[in-house]
Structure 1
Amino acid sequence: MNQFIAIRFLDILDILMVAFLLYHLYMLIRGTVAFNIFIGLFVIYLFWLLVRALNMELIDTLMGQFIGVGVLALIVVFQQEIRRFLLLIGSNNQVNRLLGMDKLFSSDKYKTPSNQQLKMLVKACENMARTYTGALIVVAQKSELREFVRTGEKINARISDALLETIFFKNTPLHDGAVIILGNRIVAARCIMPITDKHDLDPTLGLRHRAALGISEVTDAMAIIVSEEKGKISVAQAGELHLNISLAELSKMLENVLHPSDDSDD
């Protein structure tokens, strides 16, 4: 009789896939209230297993009813994290290319920004950082952020460093809130962004950084923050905050998001 356990290639693949999902689940909920909730639910589940092992029928019956609706409870409690996980999969360029969905998401309404417009965007951030002018610029990708555009004032103007600096000038009525850029257009200003629920952030970070991180968690957008207190530039993308980046780093990150062409400004 063979005493060895037969391990197939599919078993190894199964383990790797589960490890991959658990890792990304941890990355999504770490530092949030959801992580503490997950630990609480895990402790309750372990306690239920102990109760069943000890044949404590009354508690087992009561907890069994609770565990029975556990999937629905998880969906309700972790709806934001589930949305972020699905967004992570849906916005993956390799996945979209494999399924042939990359052309479906492309829009002819907003043209790709030119190299000149990209330079003006970086220049505006540089000037605002030098003058300690606070700013929050959200650069959309596949999602057009229509629900967030509706919260602000529509502009629909070409990207311009002068316009961006004017919008975020302290005495203007549009400076409070976020500017949304879609393609080669500044589509709206004074837009309201969702605030992240992460509680392990640096307490010195203000609402701009938390709003930038929040929009990057629930959409595929990239958010640029110019600190009013420190005059530093930061970027939030895919739920990660990159603090105090250089202008060269900002240009490179924008190139990856906007894919500027060599054509002149239209």
Structure 2
Amino acid sequence: MFLFRLGFLDVGWLDILDILLVAVLIYQIYNLLRGSVASRVFVGYLLIYLLYLVVKALGLNLLTTILEYFISVGALALIIIFQQEIRRFLLLIGKSTNVVNNRLMRRWLLRQPYLPESITPLKPIVDACKTLSAEFSGGLIVIERNDDLDKYVQTGELINANLSKQLLLSIFSQYSPLHDGAVIISNGRIVAARCILPVSDDDVLPPALGFRHRAALGMCEATDAAVIAVSEETGRLALAINGELSTNLSLPELESRLDKYLNEPGLKPLGNITP
């Protein structure tokens, strides 16, 4: 059953749905590649494909055969060229689903053992960020949400101490041997310090943002953790969540965003923020 006829084509509900889904997919790919070098490669490949369609319509058999071989090999080349973008896209899809984040699904479907909920208070973290910002001391703090961060914990020095403002300030002191790298917090404890995080290769980031901000963005692209970056040069606060980096945040904005993200329904509670 079709809705209307367009020339010699019969257009039905499934055709409209198909067009809408393709449009959404192309738009998401555009947002993913926008502003990067990969976007120009993608546009170049589309132009070659359009040339192939024109040549095929004109009946130029030899050139059509050559372009067919180029396009078939080009599909594999695109996977290699866009491996970072494809990885980011798959991570975005994976983190947007609630199957892994649901505790019952993790227990029965993924066969993960039940663990009692524990509370990570946010007040010591926020207070430490306030002091680090005022003293222009750099800091990089990772707060675990649902994803396992053991792989990144193993890159640093194990601490396994109770979370406190004083300990965070001691770690990020310029005289501390642990001040380089990131602190990872899980279940109300400082698990490790001087940890190495994955660095984002996003070309859209302003050149003024340094290594800490790229590491914060890279970590939240690979996991669902919340990452706080305190600039050593300006003292400004930044928060990386779900592959997005928010910069120049005030302390109340940092508090509210952390509280909203880490205390969403269905997640283990991480404590309310006290001014």
More moved, 184-193 vs 120-129: 184-193
2:47 & 2:116 partners in 1: Cα distance? 50
Deviation at 1:99, TM superposition (A): 11
Deviation at 1:255, TM superposition (A): 1.9
Q: Residue 19 of structure 2 aligns with which residue?
A: 15
Say whether residues 1:151 and 2:155 are aligned partners. yes
Counterpart code for 1:4? R
Answer yes or no: is the 8 Å Cα contact 1:183–1:258 preserved in 2.
Answer: no
Counterpart code for 1:91? K
Counterpart code for 2:172? F
Q: Residue 165 of structure 2 aligns with which residue?
A: 161
Answer yes or no: is the 8 Å Cα contact 1:112–1:258 preserved in 2.
Answer: no
Question: Aligned in 2, Cα 1:4/1:93: closer, same or farther, shift over 3 Å?
Answer: closer
Deviation at 1:198, TM superposition (A): 2.1
Matches within 5 A, 1:119-134: 119-134=123-138
Question: Aligned in 2, Cα 1:194/1:109: closer, same or farther, shift over 3 Å?
Answer: same
Question: Aligned in 2, Cα 1:146/1:32: closer, same or farther, shift over 3 Å?
Answer: farther
Q: Please point out which of 220, 223, 237 is paired with 2:224.
A: 220
Deviation at 1:110, TM superposition (A): 7.9
Say whether residues 1:176 and 2:177 are aligned partners. no
Answer yes or no: is the 8 Å Cα contact 1:141–1:257 preserved in 2.
Answer: no
1:101 & 1:134 partners in 2: Cα distance? 39
Q: Residue 187 of structure 1 aligns with which residue?
A: 191
Question: Aligned in 2, Cα 1:126/1:111: closer, same or farther, shift over 3 Å?
Answer: farther
More moved, 132-141 vs 150-159: 150-159
Matches within 5 A, 1:22-33: 22-33=26-37
Q: Please point out which of 106, 109, 113 is paired with 2:119.
A: 113
Gaps of 5+ in 2: 264-268
Q: Please point out which of 144, 149, 152 is paired with 1:140.
A: 144
Counterpart code for 2:260? N
Question: Aligned in 2, Cα 1:102/1:13: closer, same or farther, shift over 3 Å?
Answer: farther
Q: CA RMSD in A?
A: 2.9
1:244 & 1:213 partners in 2: Cα distance? 15
TM (norm. structure 1) is 0.84
Q: How many residues align?
A: 260
Q: Residue 61 of structure 1 aligns with which residue?
A: 65
Question: CA offsets per residue over residues 78-134 of structure 1, 9 Å max, x none?
Answer: 2222222222222225465799636568875584434xx211111111110011110
1:98 & 1:181 partners in 2: Cα distance? 21
Other structure's SS at 1:225 match:
strand
Counterpart code for 2:40? N
Answer yes or no: is the 8 Å Cα contact 1:212–1:236 preserved in 2.
Answer: yes
More moved, 91-100 vs 153-162: 91-100
Q: Please point out which of 232, 238, 243 is paired with 2:236.
A: 232
Answer yes or no: is the 8 Å Cα contact 1:178–1:192 preserved in 2.
Answer: yes
TM (norm. structure 2) is 0.81
Say whether residues 1:242 and 2:246 are aligned partners. yes
Question: Aligned in 2, Cα 1:215/1:156: closer, same or farther, shift over 3 Å?
Answer: same
Question: Aligned in 2, Cα 1:3/1:193: closer, same or farther, shift over 3 Å?
Answer: closer
Other structure's SS at 1:223 match:
strand
Q: Residue 211 of structure 1 aligns with which residue?
A: 215
Question: CA offsets per residue over residues 172-228 of structure 1, 9 Å max, x none?
Answer: 111111122233232222122222222232221111111211222232222111011
| More relative contact order, 1 or 2 (CA 8 Å, 6+ apart) | 1
Other structure's SS at 1:4 match:
strand
Question: Aligned in 2, Cα 1:36/1:57: closer, same or farther, shift over 3 Å?
Answer: same
Other structure's SS at 2:207 match:
coil
